[in-house]
Amino acid sequence: MFEARLAQGSIFAKVIEGLRELVTEATWECSGNGITLQAMDSSHVALVSLVLRSDGFETYRCDRNMSLGISLTSMSKVLKMMGKDDTLTIRVNDDSDAIVLSMESQNQEEFAEYELRLMDLDSEHLGIPDTDYSCVVKMPSTKFSRICRDMAILGDSVTICSTKDGVKFGAKGDVGQGSIRLNQSTNVDKEEDAVSIELREAVALTFAVRYLNMFCKAAPLSNQVNLSMSEDTPLMCEFKVGDMGHIRFYLAPKIEDAEN
Amino acid sequence: MFEARLAQGSIFAKVIEGLRELVTEATWECSGNGITLQAMDSSHVALVSLVLRSDGFETYRCDRNMSLGISLTSMSKVLKMMGKDDTLTIRVNDDSDAIVLSMESQNQEEFAEYELRLMDLDSEHLGIPDTDYSCVVKMPSTKFSRICRDMAILGDSVTICSTKDGVKFGAKGDVGQGSIRLNQSTNVDKEEDAVSIELREAVALTFAVRYLNMFCKAAPLSNQVNLSMSEDTPLMCEFKVGDMGHIRFYLAPKIEDAEN
DNA sequence: TCCGTCGTCC
DNA sequence: GGACGACGGA
């Protein structure tokens, strides 16, 4: 039997919202340590890795390891029915082919329970090498979302150039070209507004902005996003999930064209 | 001549919004007692009955009984032009084939008048038996709306089970199955948030959720909805219209399939 | 509150 | 297959 209870069910809903555009169905790996998920998007371009540690749940019980094939599309629909401050319990009974999501309103007067059929998915476990990145940019996730949205208006690709003083996002296309530069924050009024750069080596990498915009669906999970980069290595775009884990998105850089 | 004046014209607009999806045109019966309307939806599945008593109007005059065939679609369009706090006057002159809607702004500085052609409709007067229901559930109309919308995501039908302690709405379909249970309120902080159940006999009835969602278009009329049910009897779903009348929707339960 | 997408009806 | 209306998201 598997049962995990989260007082703030909305966190889980945000996780699903953060994943579902990139990955419509995926296999969840449940063990005593927590829940993990790894998947590539349907065109096998981007990769996502989710970790939710068991100690982040209010209660957590996992008698044996389980692989659960789940439609994130359906799960998202069910989670939309959750009240704003509901407590969420996720349960899989032994020998059941369904996952049960229970939601309790804070005043205990409302109780909803939804059952989703589990799916048989070919689960590709993906080895993600631990990389020592040349550069890690930390910035407000809302700012990153806005920049990616804006760059998408200009073109399909965004080039991220990072030096020790700042980071520049640039795009060009039919409408024109443009770039936005953020300097590393000096006075950190609010931690969450800070832009900080850890840099061993300057980088300049180009990415398909469409995928970055999908990654940004996870932005409501965290005030800050971490962008870790090295030349010729996939970008890692990380959002923390409270203090219980993270979502990490990976995207290989485009090979630079002659004209860039 | 017929003339009825309503200081709060928005109430009348809400009545029309509450009806127009189910019934696009209908015959209004005007008499000295007030206005009534009865109609079935186009597929003859659901029935609606409207009562607006004459004493609920600011002024009311009806020299002789009249049957007015009206396009609710057109009337809705006209009422959308009404200002938020306008006073509405409905008038039918003798020997006229039109109904005139006059709207005055509160400051008397704006005055609009629209004329709608009356229609010749075969008016079926429907006998609605007075039923002594086994169970009456009273709940916030917003909550009922949300539940019906959610249940529609899961499937075409919703099963309502009511016992003396609470009421449960359930649905099943492709995405999965689910249910939501409301307990009878114990401490009534706000009257309008209360869930209360008068029960002589427990009921479990299944309805086409599509129609319930149409009924919910009338929810803005009232904070509370009354669901009156008996086995093998049409549901009555009632919204009060201020203290001047009500809209009552009727819907026959589905015959239970073997699998339920 | 307005715009875009999806579903239903003609 | 096209048009209209409803619903959900930005």
pLDDT digits (tens, 9 = 90+) for B98-113: 999 999 998 888 999 9
pTM for the model stands at 0.93
CB-CB: which of A71, A77, A112 is closest to B153?
Answer: A77
Query: Contact at 8 Å (CB) between A211 and A45?
Result: yes
For A97, the closest chain B residue by CA position comes to B176
Chain A, nearest residue to B181 by Cα: A111
> pLDDT category, A260, cuts 50, 70, 90?
very low
Q: Are A214 and A21 in contact (CB under 8 A)?
A: yes
Per-residue pLDDT tens over the stretch B212-232 = 999 999 999 999 999 999 999
Contact A113 B182 (CB under 8 A): no
Q: Is the CB of A164 under 7 A from strand D?
A: no
Using the structure, give the distance in angstroms from the CA atom of B95 to the C1' atom of D1, rounded to a whole number: 44
What amino acid is encoded at A69 in this protein?
A: G
Q: CA A87 to CA A102: how far, in whole Å?
A: 8
Count residue pairs from A and B with Cβ separation < 8 A: 45
Quick one: CA torsion of B243, B102, B107, B35, rounded to 10 degrees?
A: -10
The reply to whether domains A2-117 and A135-251 share a CATH topology is yes
Residue closest to D5, CA→C1'?
B21
pLDDT at B260: 42
Any atom of strand D under 7 A from CB of B73? yes
Q: Supply the pLDDT for residue A257.
A: 60
Q: How far is A111 from chain B (nearest CA, A)?
A: 5
pLDDT of residue B129: 85
In this complex, the nucleotide whose C1' atom is nearest to the CA atom of residue B153 is D7
CB contact under 8 A, B183 and A109: yes
Which helix (H) or strand (E) is B89 found in, with range? strand B87-92
Q: How many CB atoms lie within 10 A of CB B157?
A: 22
CB-CB contact of A160 with A171 (8 Å): no
A22-72 pLDDT, tens digit per residue, is 999 999 999 999 999 999 998 889 999 999 999 999 999 999 999 999 999
> B residues 179-198 near A, CB within 8 Å?
179-183, 185, 195
Residue (of B195, B186, B193, B206) closest to B256 by Cα position: B206
Name the residue among A120, A125, A128, A99 with its Cα closest to residue A25. A120
Cα gap A60→A4, rounded to integer Å: 4
- Check pLDDT > 70 for residue B257: no
Measured between alpha carbons, how far is residue A49 from residues A216, A243, A252, B126, B213 in Å? Answer: 14, 16, 15, 62, 39
Domain boundaries, chain B: 2-117, 135-251
Region B118-144: mean pLDDT is: 91
Please give the structure tokens belonging to residue B139: 């709940």
Question: What are the chain B neighbours of A116 within 8 Å (beta carbons)?
Answer: 175-176
- Please, which residues bridge with residue B112 across strands? B103
CATH number of B2-117: 3.70.10.10
Residue A110: both structure tokens together: 């409302």
Q: What value does the mean pLDDT take over residues B249-255?
A: 94
* Residue B121, token pair as written in the block: 């409709």
DSSP character string of B185-237: PSS-SSGGG--EEEESS-EEEEEEHHHHHHHGGGGGG-SEEEEEE-TTS-EEE
Among chain B residues 74-133, those with CB within 7 Å of any atom of strand D: none
Which region holds residue B37: left if phi is over 0, alpha if psi is between -120 and 50, else beta?
A: beta
Indicate which of A16, A73, A77, A79 best probes the interface with B, i.e. most B CBs within 10 Å of its own CB.
Answer: A77
CA angle A12, A3, A39 (to 5 degrees): 50
| Separation between Cα atoms, residue A22 and residue A226, nearest integer Å | 19
Residue whose pair of structure tokens reads 């899989």 in the numeric block: A92
Name the band, by pLDDT with cuts 50, 70 and 90, for residue A258: very low
A133-187 pLDDT, tens digit per residue, is 999 999 999 999 999 999 998 888 999 999 999 999 999 887 789 999 999 988 7
Residues of B in contact with A109 (CB under 8 A): 182-183, 185, 195
Residues 142-171 of chain B whose Cβ lies under 8 A from any Cβ of chain A: 150, 153-154
The class (CATH top level) of A135-251 is alpha beta
Helix (H) or strand (E) holding B143: helix B141-154
